[in-house]
Amino acid sequence: MSYQKPFRLSRRTLLRGAGAAVGLPYLQAMLPGRDAVGAEVSSAPARMGMFYFGTGMNMRQFTPQDEGEDFTASRILKPLEPMRGKFTVLSGTYLAEGGGHEGAYPFSTSIARGEKQQISPDQVAAKVIGKETRFSSMQLSVDRGTNYGSQALATISWNEQGVPLAAENDPTAMFDRLFRPNSPEQTAAEVGGLNRRRSVLDLVRSDAKQVNARLGQADRQQLDQYFTSLRELEQQLERRIAWADRPKSEPKLDGLHGRFEQPMKGPEGNGEYLYDDYAKMMYDLIVLAFQTDSTRVVSYVVRKELSGGVYPEFNVSNGYHALSHHGNDPRNLDELAKVDAIYMTHWAYFLKRLSEVKEGEGSLLDHTVLGLSSGMGFEHSRDNLPTILSGGQGLGVRHRGHLRLDTEQPLASVWQTMLERVGVPVGGEFQDSRGVIAELVQA
């Protein structure tokens, strides 16, 4: 019997017609297959997401009483029941720095507020698995920008120079950036502007090099950091120029919670829409970005420290921060758990949406590893953080239901485990990690 080579599509295949060109999302014909001798010829890309839930959670009603795959779901975790087997609740993670409302700073870097930051795990991943996508990474938040210097940090992403990366809080604005095509005039203007900026950078760098020989050791080190920043910016400009003429992928909009038509500036103090709508649209956006391979790396500040975190439709008596100072009042504790369960309902929605996107023999969730936690646990402690690892079974993640770690592990160990699973081995020391969490890795 003769072997018939299967039909295969390039990831960069375009649909052309009537003067338009549209990119495709990942299709079966682009995904894992084998040639006539059984050798694997392609694979689905790995994705990674980091999610920050500020001000901790009510750990008394978060942590399951028993362990293992058949653990009894706690009140806060009950919304995740339909996704059982697709996530692991980790007990025993901590931050050596932080605690109180300082935890957003060391959350992804292990470095305390006020200290020189270092590159965050999402950006480590972006340098490896984000090379082939339009956006090497995507930063989302309930607040726009960085809020650097305040406790209510709006981002958990840091570049190689320890500079915080600004986040976007409007799902419609990000949808436009990802998917809505520019006109030829807009593209030409954008490329022209980028080229002008690139020329300015060349001039600045040339002038700076002439000064370098006259500087002392400390100033040379400072200038070297400056050159590093210039190189990083140049790479970003080159990337944007290279992608400017490529058509944006057309997402499948079936089953989405919203249509991404009206601006939705972050939910804090807004009152123009339900948080439920906002949360689901933000998660839909991440699914679409992964599905169309627009990016493979995402960070998202789902809830900031101190302010906000509670919305009118939650029907509770106070803001999240005030509830967290519960004073053992039964009502405060009950309302705190109620709010946390609402957030887990949205997380369940996200996991379900990822699991519904088929990819090869599995789903988008199987090729995506997601970590959520906080900068504090209960009562502003930096110990026993509310940590959940989700997805990634196609990447070698072994889910354990509720895993109570034999020895407490720094949160960096979770990030290192995630990096290893998406094919980004860090080698040597990584932050204050004690290494990959072996129980989460398939033998």
Structure tokens given for 411? 């949160």
120 and 11 in a common domain: no
Number of domains in the chain: 3
pLDDT in tens, 265-289: 889 878 888 999 999 989 999 998 9
Around Cβ 443, how many Cβ atoms within 10 Å?
5
Q: Of 387, 409, 401, 390, give the one whose Cα is nearest residue 66.
A: 401
- Hey, how many other C-beta atoms are within 10 angstroms of the C-beta on 90? 27
Could you tell me the end-to-end alpha-carbon distance of the chain, in angstroms, rounded to an integer?
37
Q: Specify whether 413 is located in the same domain as 305.
A: yes
Is the pLDDT reported for residue 81 higher than 50? Answer: yes
Average pLDDT over residues 329-352: 97
> CA distances (Å), 327 to each of 221, 330, 339, 380, 382, in order?
50, 9, 17, 13, 18
Pair 201, 153 in one domain: no
User: Are the C-beta atoms of 321 and 306 separated by less than 8 Å?
Assistant: yes
Check whether 169 has a pLDDT greater than 70. Answer: yes
pLDDT of residue 7: 43
Q: How far apart are CA 302 and CA 140, in angstroms?
A: 8
Residue 294 to residue 25: CA distance in whole angstroms: 9
- 325 lies in which domain range? 47-179+251-440
Of 226, 246, 266, which residue sits at a domain end? Answer: 246
Amino acid (one-letter) located at 411: L
State whether 338 and 396 are in the same domain. Answer: yes
50 three-state secondary structure: strand
| Same-domain pairing of 97 and 149 | yes
Choice among 9-13, 61-65, 77-81, 218-222 with the minimum mean pLDDT? 9-13
- My answer on whether 305 and 398 are in the same domain is yes
93-133 pLDDT per residue, tens: 999 997 789 999 999 999 999 999 999 999 999 999 998 89
Same domain, 139 and 17: no
Does 399 share its domain with 422? yes
Q: Clarify whether residues 39 and 52 are in a common domain.
A: no
Give me the pLDDT at residue 127, please.
Answer: 95
Considering the domain architecture, whether residues 273 and 210 belong to the same structural domain is answered as no
305 and 259 together in one domain: yes
Indicate the SS3 state at residue 275.
helix
Q: What is the dihedral of CA 420, 421, 424, 425, to 10 degrees?
A: 20
Using the 3D structure, point to which of 246, 268, 287 is the last residue of a domain. 246
DSSP state letter for 159: -
Instruction: Name the pTM for this structure.
Output: 0.81
Residues 191 and 159 in one domain: no
**Predicted pLDDT of residue 15:** 38
